[in-house]
A and B are shown apart, each in its own frame.
Chain A
Amino acid sequence: AQSVTQPDIHITVSEGASLELRCNYSYGATPYLFWYVQSPGQGLQLLLKYFSGDTLVQGIKGFEAEFKRSQSSFNLRKPSVHWSDAAEYFCAVGRGSTLGRLYFGRGTQLTVWP
């Protein structure tokens, strides 16, 4: 069965520090992978996606993620965190051939200290 694991429930970093949010997936085929960000009481905003090709993908707001098939991972990174990055981050895997049916991880809450 497909699943998405985000092992870190809550991460705290200082502003300006680097960030890495972990995501591991379990999926039988080549996955479609996504990272979404959710601010309090808001919907989801797509940060980046991986469908195929270059395994290092660039997203919005200075985020990037690297797909590592051997590790079944799709970790999100940012070299220098801003206070406005504080939010909930969700990793997701596309289910089947359509990209709207998604398995989500449980999310990682990011707190940024000034």
Chain B
Amino acid sequence: GAVVSQHPSRVICKSGTSVKIECRSLDFQATTMFWYRQFPKQSLMLMATSNEGSKATYEQGVEKDKFLINHASLTLSTLTVTSAHPEDSSFYICSGGGTVNTEAFFGQGTRLTVV
């Protein structure tokens, strides 16, 4: 299957700062990428759909000003958690692909801890 790389795998930041997470499709072009959030012992919740060259589409209840998504190229989408707070601590996972006929491929995830 196709490869999606996510970086960093772990990050610790201070409350009030911002942190950027990168999601790259290594061997295919991803016009669309998806960002999920996973709380401990819970399922993955779709946060937003990232569209190359246009604005992201956010799911209901997700603060778009807190979770900034940029998809500037066909192989890179970034999620920036702005003014992070401890409640933003979570496991964030991106995926690429997921078109009409192909499944999505997931990155390894990023463990964010806000202290």
Contact = CB atoms under 8 A, between A and B. Distances in A.
Interface in B32-50: 32-34, 36, 42-46, 49
Nearest to A44: B106
Nearest to A91: B43
Nearest to A10: B41
Contacts of B32: 98, 100
A90 B42 CA distance: 10
Q: Please classify the interface of chain B as helix (H, G, I), strand (E, B), loop, or mixed, using the class held by over half of its residues.
A: strand
A99 B99 contact: yes
Interface residues of A, number: 23
Report the interface size class on chain B: 20 to 34
Interface stretch (B11-19, B67-75, B107-115): B107-115
A101 B56 CA distance: 13
A45 B32 CA distance: 19
Interface in B92-115: 93, 95-109, 111
Interface of A: 34, 36, 41-46, 49, 51, 90, 95, 97-107
Q: Which 7 A-B pairs have the closest CB atoms?
A: A100-B98, A100-B104, A44-B106, A43-B108, A106-B43, A104-B43, A43-B106
